[in-house]
């Protein structure tokens, strides 16, 4: 349970850092919206990400793991689709936000 809370907080901090650094990645609202985004990413990463990674394992192996970035971008895009207070304007903002969220989350907690 504590690792899930750390995962939520790590995702919330990573989303906040992406909001600060990436133009075109917007979240309206306060800290609760960042926590909701962190919760949404944590739920998507626990439920949907293992299925997608197992289905795309040959592509991940062929690209030496770079296809995992596409899966992470898909998770962020799904979250953007369902979260009203989040807006990603364009593919470049999605790619940069995905890279920043992945790096920030990996440096914040080592629960992967």
Tokens 């985004």 belong to: 37
Phi and psi at 63, nearest 5°, equal -95, 10
Domain count, the chain: 1
Each residue's pLDDT expressed in tens, for the chain with a length of 112 residues: 888 888 899 899 999 999 999 999 999 888 999 999 999 999 999 999 999 999 999 999 999 989 999 999 999 999 999 999 899 999 999 999 999 999 888 887 765 5
Please say whether the dihedral angle defined by the alpha carbons of residues 60, 65, 67 and 72, taken in this order, is positive or negative.
positive
The whole domain housing 56 covers: 2-108
Alpha helix (H) residue ranges in 1-112: 2-21, 31-55, 57-62, 67-82, 91-108
CA-based torsion, 19, 21, 22, 24: positive or negative: positive
């Amino acid at each position: 349970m504590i690792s899930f809370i750390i995962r939520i907080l790590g995702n919330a901090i990573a989303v906040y850092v992406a909001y600060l650094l990436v133009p075109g990645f917007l979240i309206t609202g306060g800290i609760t919206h960042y926590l909701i985004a962190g919760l949404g990413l944590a739920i998507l990463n626990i439920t949907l990400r293992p299925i997608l990674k197992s289905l795309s394992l040959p592509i991940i192996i062929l690209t030496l793991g770079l296809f995992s970035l596409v899966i992470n971008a898909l998770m962020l895009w799904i979250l953007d689709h369902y979260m009203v207070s989040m807006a990603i304007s364009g593919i470049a903002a999605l790619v940069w936000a995905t890279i920043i969220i992945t790096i920030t989350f990996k440096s914040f907690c080592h629960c992967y």
